[in-house]
A and B are shown apart, each in its own frame.
Chain A
Amino acid sequence: MIRVQREDFDAGVELDRLAEGDHGIGGVASFVGLVRDKGGAEGVSALVLEHYPGMTEKKLAEIEAEANRRWPLSASLIIHRYGRLEPGDRIVLVATASPHREAALAACHFLIDWLKTDAPFWKSEETPEGERWVAPRAEDDDATRRWVKE
């Protein structure tokens, strides 16, 4: 399931709901991404996340479908927020449920790596001088490439 929303989410509630009613599930893996405080020296007070409505949902659904092709998942969930977020705020939740932990953990890792390089979101930082767009990290591309089958 895909949700793109401005509002916060309760990770505990979401994880409980994901496994609810399916007693074949042996484990739920999750990743919660937070707005990181870079130490304050750069004067960043908040992040603003922009996205491309329509394409975002399509790309997230494709990524989720790919995870389901690769691993035997019983359920999966991606929640990604947009709008203004402050240090410590939750940005993203990825959760996967499977009869066995290997599939759940691997699929969760795959989803967050792939999402970072494929889903059309952009972060800008609020600074005293105005907005500053966050540059992509080469490490993120490397992380995604790990999952590309030779």
Chain B
Amino acid sequence: MKLLYFAWLRARIGQAEEELALPAEVRDVAGLLEWLRRRGGGYAEALRDLSVVRVAVNHDYVGPDHPIRDGDEVALFPPVTGG
């Protein structure tokens, strides 16, 4: 699984992307966020308030119930501010 971080999430986590073997207990987006938060440090700080975290799986916005599979590209970022 490929994880990508953008904007202030990237700054707090301290890297733009990482490759990760999908942990056995992670089944959906909510589970992944919880698992990442438990890694502590910048992850815990970046994911403290999930109301300002958006998630995309394979380039589409998804909600907390969306399943995660090994090989997915999962991106975490704040609400967008383009235009």
Q: Give me the interface of A with B, judged by CB distance under 8 Å.
A: 33, 49-52, 54-55, 58-59, 80, 91-92, 112, 115-124, 131, 133-136, 140
What is the total number of residues of chain B having a CB less than 8 Å from a CB of chain A?
16
Question: B7 — which chain A residues lie within 8 A by C-beta?
Answer: 50, 122, 124, 133
Question: A51 — which chain B residues lie within 8 A by C-beta?
Answer: 82
Contact of A134 among B4, B77, B81 (CB under 8 A): B81
In whole angstroms, how far apart are the Cα atoms of A59 and B75 in the complex? 14
Q: Give me the interface of B with A, judged by CB distance under 8 Å.
A: 4, 6-8, 11, 56, 59-60, 75, 77-83
Question: B11 — which chain A residues lie within 8 A by C-beta?
Answer: 131
A125 to chain B, nearest CB (A): 11
CB of A52 within 8 A of CB of B56, answer yes
The A-B contact count (CB < 8 A) is: 68
Interface residues of chain A: helix, strand, loop or mixed (majority): mixed
CB of A122 within 8 A of CB of B83, answer no
B52 to chain A, nearest CB (A): 9
In whole angstroms, how far apart are the Cα atoms of A121 and B75 in the complex? 13
Question: B83 — which chain A residues lie within 8 A by C-beta?
Answer: 33, 80, 91-92, 112, 115-116, 119, 121, 140
Question: A49 — which chain B residues lie within 8 A by C-beta?
Answer: 82
A35 to chain B, nearest CB (A): 12
Question: A54 — which chain B residues lie within 8 A by C-beta?
Answer: 59
Contact of A55 among B8, B56, B81 (CB under 8 A): B56
